[in-house]
């Protein structure tokens, strides 16, 4: 399927590893010019080199999207480099979970800044650029805990739930501008955080993934590339009648739609 992303410009936050890297690579493969943002220069440069080696158009920008000034700079540098922004992938985030009474105000604030306020600020800055061309796609990467929070799952499940509310509200407000806003709610996906957990526990990563996969109806942990495939579809003209939706990408784990 031709996703018709040639001449589109995409910004992917948290784009130097895991899901963000996979999404950036897929969008570039489909013909989009891609800007990837991350806090660390070394990994960012590695991904830029890989995408360019595969024939993609890409720019790496060091930015901390939990900071207002970095969000502003990120959008302005994207537009300066490519003349527009059509696709915004709000992917930056970590899994901050624990007992409610142990979560301080500072922990809560950091999570809101990184996940919710980053999406708010970047969307607010990107939407005027999208309106110029009467075309835009905003995709918020959240998780299934936003719909079905578990004990000891805060602050992540709360900030992700707010991300779903933001998705739905934006989708209704900007549908007349042909700016489509959707969310991907991920379940267990192979990522660096699990690799660190395996090292800490002294077990092989394949063994950890096999154990984790037993709780998934499909019997395995998902791959970042599988998230990227869905993101590329939502970013494309093929999804031109999809907005305000939240897709569970979890191997069937979630008990809710």
How many other β-carbons are positioned within 10 Å of the β-carbon of residue 52? 13
Are residues 147 and 28 both part of a single domain? yes
Are residues 64 and 168 both part of a single domain? yes
132 assigned to some structural domain? yes
pLDDT at 202: 87
215 assigned to some structural domain? yes
Are residues 215 and 157 both part of a single domain? no
Are residues 201 and 144 both part of a single domain? no
Using an 8 Å Cβ cutoff, are 141 and 183 in contact? yes
2 assigned to some structural domain? no
pLDDT tens by residue, 77-129: 999 999 999 999 999 988 889 999 999 999 999 999 999 999 999 999 999 99
Are residues 51 and 174 both part of a single domain? yes
The two three-digit tokens of residue 143, written as one number? 């998780």
Are residues 69 and 166 both part of a single domain? yes
pLDDT tens by residue, 14-33: 999 999 999 999 999 999 99
Are residues 42 and 132 both part of a single domain? yes
Are residues 34 and 149 both part of a single domain? yes
Are residues 92 and 165 both part of a single domain? yes
The fraction of the chain above a pLDDT of 70, given in percent, is 100
The two three-digit tokens of residue 212, written as one number? 């984790």
211 assigned to some structural domain? yes
DSSP lists the bridge partners of residue 87 as: 10, 137
> How large is the average pLDDT for residues 199-225?
93
Which band of pLDDT confidence, cut at 50, 70 and 90, is reported for residue 254? Answer: very high
**Range of 202's domain?**
192-221
Question: How many domains are contained in the chain?
Answer: 2
Whose structure tokens read 């939240």? 246
Are residues 171 and 96 both part of a single domain? yes
Are residues 41 and 156 both part of a single domain? yes
Can you list the alpha helix ranges (DSSP code H) found in the chain?
18-29, 41-53, 68-82, 105-111, 118-132, 156-174, 192-201, 205-213, 224-235
């Amino acid at each position: 399927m031709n996703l018709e992303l040639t001449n589109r410009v995409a910004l992917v936050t948290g784009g130097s590893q895991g899901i963000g890297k996979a999404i950036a690579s897929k969008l570039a493969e489909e013909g989009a010019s891609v800007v990837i943002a991350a806090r660390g220069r070394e990994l960012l440069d590695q991904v830029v080199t890989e995408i360019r080696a595969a024939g993609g158009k890409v720019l790496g920008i060091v930015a901390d999207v939990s900071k207002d000034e970095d969000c502003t700079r990120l959008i302005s540098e994207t537009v300066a480099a490519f003349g527009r922004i059509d696709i915004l992938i709000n992917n930056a985030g970590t899994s901050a979970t624990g007992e409610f009474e142990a979560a301080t105000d500072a922990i809560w604030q950091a999570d809101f800044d990184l996940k919710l306020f980053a999406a708010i600020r970047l969307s607010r800055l990107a939407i005027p650029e999208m309106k110029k061309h009467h075309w835009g796609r905003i995709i918020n990467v959240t998780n299934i805990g936003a719909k079905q929070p578990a004990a000891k799952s805060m602050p992540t499940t709360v900030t992700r739930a707010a991300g779903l509310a933001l998705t739905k509200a934006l989708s209704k407000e900007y549908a007349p501008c042909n700016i489509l806003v959707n969310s991907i709610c991920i379940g267990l996906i192979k990522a660096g955080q699990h690799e660190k957990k395996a090292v800490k526990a002294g077990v092989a990563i394949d063994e950890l993934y096999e154990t984790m996969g037993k709780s998934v109806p499909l019997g395995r942990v998902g791959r970042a590339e599988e998230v990227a495939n869905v993101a590329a579809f939502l970013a494309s003209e093929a999804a031109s009648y999809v907005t305000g939706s939240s897709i569970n990408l979890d191997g069937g784990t979630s008990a809710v739609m």
